[in-house]
């Protein structure tokens, strides 16, 4: 059997991804005292080293795809900084049998990273053209365990609930109660909270077996606001 040799372009992208992963590891060390995660799990870092971020950014941004920073994806939205994607993924403690809800599909990149680690990802996007594009790219890359839905993620996705983990990648003014309700006992939610002009906080919300929640602040962050009728209300 013959194996196709990787092209020069593929090798360059693999090298750029490896550099990005090294930068993520360095940032994790630098922020470890605040986040409680000075070293991200091997499986999370392997997923960051595998998912082709260049497929999730517009052609004009291709050369920046492996820079450790957010990039525009159209419709006034962004693909998050790779370090933040890795941090949020690591905070979720993803397990291979988990079902995960993402609110804010955007490009679909975060969903792809999660899809490398868990059994099923349901992701909701309020901007229809972004959802369509993300669904197409995820399909082309063979991610069969991701379902992209169009809608207001404030209300979660009751039909697929409860979830082992929930990740929110746009900032509401407060943690949406429907998302807490759709988290399994023992489940974890990672969510930025705060107004667009405030310093937002990246929160880790854990639901105890008795249904009560504990919340821990990790880092100050800057996300686009959660839109829709309910996201901005306190």
Give bridge partners of residue 217 from the DSSP assignment.
203
Give bridge partners of residue 216 from the DSSP assignment.
204
Continuous H helices in 36-81: 42-50
Q: What residues contact 142, with CB distance under 8 A and at least 6 apart? A: none
* Closest distance of CB 79 from ligand SAM, Å: 4
Continuous H helices in the chain: 8-35, 42-50, 82-91, 109-115, 128-140, 177-181
Judged by CB under 6 A, the chain residues 129 through 168 that form the site for ligand SAM are 130, 152-154
* Closest distance of CB 3 from ligand SAM, Å: 31
Which of 101, 114, 127, 138: binder of ligand SAM (CB under 6 A)?
127
Q: What residues contact 217, with CB distance under 8 A and at least 6 apart? A: 201, 202, 203
Cβ proximity of 205 and 191 under 8 Å? yes
96 assigned to active site: no
Which of 47, 83, 86, 104: binder of ligand SAM (CB under 6 A)?
104
| Count of CA atoms in the C-beta half-sphere (13 A) of 232 | 7
- Residue 125 binds ligand SAM (CB under 6 A): yes
Which of 109, 143, 157, 163: binder of ligand SAM (CB under 6 A)?
109
- Residue 100 binds ligand SAM (CB under 6 A): no
**What is the pattern of x (binds ligand SAM, CB under 6 A) and - over residues 41-80?**
------------------------------------xxxx
- For residue 2, which phi and psi values (nearest 5 degrees)? -100, 145
Which of 31, 68, 145, 227: binder of ligand SAM (CB under 6 A)?
227
- Residue 223 binds ligand SAM (CB under 6 A): yes
Which of 124, 165, 173, 190: binder of ligand SAM (CB under 6 A)?
124
Catalytic residue among 7, 80, 107, 197: 80
The C-alpha atoms of residue 36 and residue 15 are separated, in whole angstroms, by 29
Strands (E) across 46-182 are located at 71-74, 77-79, 99-103, 120-125, 146-150, 163-168
* Closest distance of CB 60 from ligand SAM, Å: 16
* Closest distance of CB 154 from ligand SAM, Å: 5
Size of residue set near ligand SAM by CB under 6 A: 26
- Residue 203 binds ligand SAM (CB under 6 A): no
- 200: part of which helix (H) or strand (E)? strand 200-207
The C-alpha atoms of residue 27 and residue 87 are separated, in whole angstroms, by 10
- List the catalytic residues: 80
Residues in contact with ligand SAM by CB under 6 A are 77-80, 103-104, 106-107, 109-110, 124-127, 130, 152-154, 169-170, 223-224, 226-228, 231
């Amino acid at each position: 059997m013959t194996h196709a040799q990787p092209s020069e372009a593929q090798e360059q992208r693999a090298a750029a991804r490896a550099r990005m992963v090294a930068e993520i590891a360095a940032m994790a060390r630098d922020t470890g005292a605040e986040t409680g995660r000075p070293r991200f799990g091997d499986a999370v870092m392997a997923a960051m080293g595998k998912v082709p971020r260049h497929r999730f950014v517009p052609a004009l941004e291709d050369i920046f795809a492996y820079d450790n920073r957010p990039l525009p994806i159209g419709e006034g939205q962004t693909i998050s900084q790779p370090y933040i994607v890795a941090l949020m993924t690591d905070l979720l403690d993803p397990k291979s049998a988990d079902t995960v809800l993402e609110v804010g599909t955007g490009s679909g990149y975060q969903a792809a990273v999660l899809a490398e680690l868990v059994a099923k990802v349901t992701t909701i996007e309020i901007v229809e053209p972004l959802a369509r594009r993300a669904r197409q790219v995820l399909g082309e890359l063979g991610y069969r365990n991701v379902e992209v839905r169009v809608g207001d993620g404030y209300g979660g996705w009751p039909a697929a609930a409860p979830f082992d983990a929930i990740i929110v990648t746009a900032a509401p003014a407060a943690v949406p109660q429907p998302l807490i309700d759709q988290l399994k006992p023992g489940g974890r939610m990672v969510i930025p909270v705060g107004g667009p002009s405030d310093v937002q906080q990246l929160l880790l919300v854990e639901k105890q077996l008795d249904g009560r929640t504990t919340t821990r602040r990790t880092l100050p962050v800057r996300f686009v606001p959660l839109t829709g009728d309910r996201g901005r209300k306190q």
